[in-house]
Structure 1
Amino acid sequence: MAAVRREIERKYESGTGRLPDLTGVGPVAAVADRGTAALDAVHYDTADARLAAAGLTLRRRTGGTDAGWHLKIPAAPGVRDEIRAPLSDEVPPALAALLRSRVRGAALRPVLRLRSTRAVRHLLDARGTLLAELSVDTVRADRLTGTAAAADDRGGHDDRSATARWTEIEVELAEDGDPALLDLLDDRLRAAGVRRAAAPSEAARALAETAPPGHRPLPGPPAPPVTAGDHVLVRLRAQRDAVVALDPAVRRDLPDSVHRMRVAIRRLRSALRGHGRVLDRAATAPLAAELKWLAGELGLDRDHEVLAERLTAALDALPETLVTGPVRTRLRLWSASRRAGARSRVLAVLDGGRYLALLDALDALTARPPLRPAAGGDPAEVLGRALGEEHARLTAALDRALALPPGPARDLALHEARKQAKRTRYAAETAAGALGAAAGPPGAAAKALQTLLGDHQDGVLARRALRELAGQAQAARESSFTYGLLYGREEHRAAVLEAELPRLRARLRPFGTGRRPG
């Protein structure tokens, strides 16, 4: 099983490696010399540097106290999760799986060899507790060509590979350390003439400094969008990138990762379905269908988790005198049976050929988009019209639901209105770059409706589950009183929510289409 640790660090450049005295900086009471270590790391990537482009680092390192395979995944600016696996000849399967959305069918091969002499110092507080580790690395980086990689496997070195040398300083916060300490240390280091590193990592610097003449650097930020098609493609690429970036988090079962990936998938699908004047629907419809499939597969576990949390919270809110029979035990068993196998199913989907083919298809679409004539038009006019049409559909869907009497038919119609509220909100997000503040009111109104109708739909599902649980209890000769009580509370909550709908309907003011807002 791979081990994970959170790295919060800052890197600095120093020609000499000299350090100012850091004693007395904040809580630092002492600086302890921990000696030197010789580190030897071979970094892996695809031939077209997909990992480097995503800010990912995969290396096999020997020497020091943490020899083994290391995969570093950005979590926030200056923060990375380092996932470790024991030394082996091949990339460990657990790490390879976390890279599958990036690598897909491409081979991982050695691209760099970094050999460092590391001088380590521990920054300690008055009780001797480790606050941060400071290291000064004298680095030699060799870019590995095909022959160099083979030589490296034999323990040798090919002189034809480019080489770079530098000295850098790294300050890494101890586990559970206070990030404010890094700011204090930063002030002292920079006052002493030490400057922040320009490159985000050793590997990024090594790739840049050992690049052969004429080598194309990693792609920079894209040009600002100009046409309507540009704006839609910016949206598609951002959400495609979000799906790919969230893949490792879903595999690691990190909190909220499945929900965030599903939101990105829905935004992708909405952009494909809602901009038929910009993109040829004949080309995008199959992709939209595959995105619907993927969101559904990921949602099986997530939807049940949300429902179980709702029922548990409702049960916890009841006085104990109103809880009759083994309600908590039955709810727990019911939840466990529904979730059984869900985790393995999600992983099977992410490892499957259908999902990886969908990612390839999204890449192909964004690289060679099937643009229609309106793609070259004024973005405010084209995207404003698309938003106006979604807004009109939302108004009509809500009016249809409100015209129905309370009951299953209205519940279904409100669920359809909720889905249209999502599409309207996402259309407003896509149009925001072109429309500016004009996209705000329809987007905010749609979001408010989506939130309320989402609560309403969760209540519909909760009542359905409570009927099922009550039936199981009665079959086992248990009291069903508590389930009925919870059912009644859900009915009351639904009535309160539906009473709010006319007020939110009033916020759906007409939004002009086909013209530049202004």
Structure 2
Amino acid sequence: MVQSMRETERKYEVPSPADTSWLPELERVDGVAAVVDRSPEELDAVYYDTDDLRLSGSSAVLRRRTGGTDAGWHLKLPLSGDSREEIRSALTDTVPDALLDLTRSRTRGAELTPVVRIRSTREVRHLVDADGTTRAELCVDSVRAQSLRADGRHAAWNELEVELAEDADPALLDAVEKKLRKKGIARAHSPSKLVRALDETVTTRAGAPGGSAGPDPGQAGAQVLAYVRKQIRALTELDPAVRRDRPDSVHRMRVACRRLRSCLRSYRSVLDREVTDSVRGELKWLAGELGAERDQEVLMERLSGEIAALPEELVLGPVDARLRVWNVVDSTESHLRSLDALGSRRYLDLLDSLAVLLEHPPLRAKAARAAEDAEKVMAKAVLKEYGRLATRMTDALELSPGPERDVALHEARKAAKKVRYATEVARPALGKPARSLGKRVKAVQKVLGDHQDSVVARGALRDLAVAAQTAGEAGFTWGLLYGTEQARAENRERELPSVWEPASDPVPREKLRR
């Protein structure tokens, strides 16, 4: 069993633990009434990573630590700013399977072995308020690091950690830092003990992200690769959240797959499709495996909200109970499907392919065009996707309402997403015209998305109504909801032409050509 907590801290350089001349300054920080000494600690941690340091290269840390109040296995994953998520597991001889799973997207299945041992003599103090509540913890560490690689090099240093207590105001860290700066205490250059230990004890740091130098920033290749790198990072970082069934994680991971896949399609003039088409195929597979769980989430939220909005006299029979049972069954099955995908060799192979894509990008000649030509390359890609959308919208709007039109509108929705994602890639080169077109197309996509959700909801409502009737329950409420969804879809179809009109205006498209 694992436990998760949010850790928010900053690290500073201190010349010597014996020099505590700066401590009285902290009692002058707003909200701090006293600095209270606690018992010193002896900590001994062994850090694990792959042979080419894939975990540390992705800003993650895995260690087995003894001593202190939290002995055990700790996996630290980056969050925003000064925060990280720390996932703890009991002290065992080998890496717990639960933590192995949570590192999988970063290690890509490579073996984890000890790389560094770090021992710290820690002096602990608490910053407490007038009520005696701890607002932050100060730790002054005398650190001794030893490489567990063949060379076995050593390093030693002193550092100060200031860690925010749970529910404490983050502004406290700024106030403490202001006092420390006045005493000449600066931020540490390394974000963690592990990074510093690796820098000072490991001769070769393979596995750091980034790959080759790549094209210049103003070139189309650099802009496309920056977007690709961002989506790969999102996919990698969301993997642990999906495995733990965190809210919205499946949706965000699926979107990262779609953005990445769309980028590789739209910018074939920049990245060679002979390499990227196979990657796109695997991204489609992964998005599809995640799709069942995401679709169930959307459907449950939609239907439960509609039932809650009905007057009590219109809810006949055990409607809520039937919906909950249906959701438990379907959501459990779909989540297991997601976990099976993330646990597969196929998924690890995809991650390997994405790593190679960044390390050795298959750039075409247009990737190295100068900034002026890069604008043309990006604009052409956006307009090509827009042309596909315009064709699909025209075809769909000419059809009569019914299943055939529903399918056509769904295809137009997917085309609208591709245009949006293409404009996201192009924003550094094209600026406001790309943002403007993306915004207009997003409005179209929103209407089309609500329409498609209604199509899916009506299918589910019919199945629920049949099941209720078979069980001898009243079907009135399910029929009422079906009618509501049908009316909602009809409203979206009537609304669509007016929403599409601004996006079909040729002026913004012409501006893309500069």
Task: Select which of 89, 98, 104 maps to 2:108.
Answer: 104
Whole-angstrom distance in 2 between the partners of 1:343 and 1:42: 34
Whole-angstrom distance in 1 between the partners of 2:63 and 2:337: 30
Residues 391 and 511 of structure 1 are in contact (CA less than 8 Å); yes or no, is this contact kept in structure 2? no
**Residues 1:358 and 1:318: Cα distance change in structure 2 (over 3 Å):** same
- Counterpart amino acid of residue 278 in structure 2: P
Give 1:217 deviation, angstroms: 9.8
Whole-angstrom distance in 2 between the partners of 1:25 and 1:264: 43
Q: Deviations over 1:97-133 (max 9, x none)?
A: 1111121242222221111110111122222222111
Whole-angstrom distance in 2 between the partners of 1:385 and 1:16: 60
- Counterpart amino acid of residue 506 in structure 2: P
Q: Which residue of 2 aligns with 1:67?
A: 71
Task: Select which of 408, 418, 437 maps to 2:403.
Answer: 408
5+ unaligned residues in a row in structure 1: which ranges? 147-159
Find out whether 1:9 has 2:9 as its counterpart. Answer: yes
**Residues 1:373 and 1:511: Cα distance change in structure 2 (over 3 Å):** farther
Task: Select which of 423, 444, 447 maps to 2:442.
Answer: 447
Find out whether 1:58 has 2:62 as its counterpart. Answer: yes
Specify the SS of the correspondent of 2:472: coil
Residues 272 and 364 of structure 2 are in contact (CA less than 8 Å); yes or no, is this contact kept in structure 1? yes
Residues 385 and 513 of structure 1 are in contact (CA less than 8 Å); yes or no, is this contact kept in structure 2? no
Q: Deviations over 1:339-366 (max 9, x none)?
A: 2332222222111101111111222233
Q: Deviations over 1:298-350 (max 9, x none)?
A: 11111011101100000000110111111111111121222233222222211
Residues 389 and 513 of structure 1 are in contact (CA less than 8 Å); yes or no, is this contact kept in structure 2? no
Task: Select which of 293, 297, 321 maps to 1:301.
Answer: 293
Whole-angstrom distance in 1 between the partners of 2:460 and 2:374: 46
- Counterpart amino acid of residue 513 in structure 2: P
Whole-angstrom distance in 2 between the partners of 1:312 and 1:323: 12
Find out whether 1:358 has 2:350 as its counterpart. Answer: yes
Whole-angstrom distance in 2 between the partners of 1:208 and 1:370: 31
Whole-angstrom distance in 1 between the partners of 2:31 and 2:367: 58
Q: Which residue of 1 aligns with 2:260?
A: 268
5+ unaligned residues in a row in structure 2: which ranges? none
Give 1:226 deviation, angstroms: 3.5
Q: Which residue of 1 aligns with 2:189?
A: 198
Structure 2 length-normalised TM: 0.93
Q: Which residue of 1 aligns with 2:283?
A: 291
Whole-angstrom distance in 1 between the partners of 2:174 and 2:147: 34
Find out whether 1:419 has 2:414 as its counterpart. Answer: yes
Whole-angstrom distance in 2 between the partners of 1:330 and 1:516: 52
Q: Deviations over 1:57-110 (max 9, x none)?
A: 111111111111111111111101111112222211111111111212422222
**Residues 1:89 and 1:314: Cα distance change in structure 2 (over 3 Å):** same
Q: Which residue of 1 aligns with 2:480?
A: 485
Specify the SS of the correspondent of 2:39: strand
Structure 1 length-normalised TM: 0.92
Specify the SS of the correspondent of 2:144: strand
Specify the SS of the correspondent of 1:340: helix
Q: Deviations over 1:222-251 (max 9, x none)?
A: 675343233222222221222112111211
Residues 428 and 439 of structure 1 are in contact (CA less than 8 Å); yes or no, is this contact kept in structure 2? yes
Residues 437 and 509 of structure 2 are in contact (CA less than 8 Å); yes or no, is this contact kept in structure 1? no
Give 1:474 deviation, angstroms: 2.0
Specify the SS of the correspondent of 1:196: coil
Task: Select which of 316, 321, 342 maps to 1:324.
Answer: 316
Residues 75 and 88 of structure 2 are in contact (CA less than 8 Å); yes or no, is this contact kept in structure 1? yes
Q: Which residue of 2 aligns with 1:251?
A: 243
Q: Which residue of 2 aligns with 1:517?
A: 513
Q: Please identify, of 357-366 and 450-459, the stretch whose mean Cα deviation from structure 2 is larger.
A: 357-366
- Counterpart amino acid of residue 142 in structure 2: T
Whole-angstrom distance in 1 between the partners of 2:484 and 2:109: 52
Residues 436 and 508 of structure 2 are in contact (CA less than 8 Å); yes or no, is this contact kept in structure 1? no
Residues 45 and 64 of structure 2 are in contact (CA less than 8 Å); yes or no, is this contact kept in structure 1? yes
Q: Which residue of 2 aligns with 1:31?
A: 35
Residues 391 and 442 of structure 1 are in contact (CA less than 8 Å); yes or no, is this contact kept in structure 2? no
Q: Which residue of 2 aligns with 1:174?
A: 165
Whole-angstrom distance in 1 between the partners of 2:161 and 2:494: 58
Q: Deviations over 1:249-273 (max 9, x none)?
A: 2112222111111111001111122
Whole-angstrom distance in 2 between the partners of 1:289 and 1:272: 11
Task: Select which of 385, 389, 392 maps to 1:390.
Answer: 385
Aligned residue pair count: 504
Residues 53 and 207 of structure 2 are in contact (CA less than 8 Å); yes or no, is this contact kept in structure 1? no
Specify the SS of the correspondent of 2:23: coil
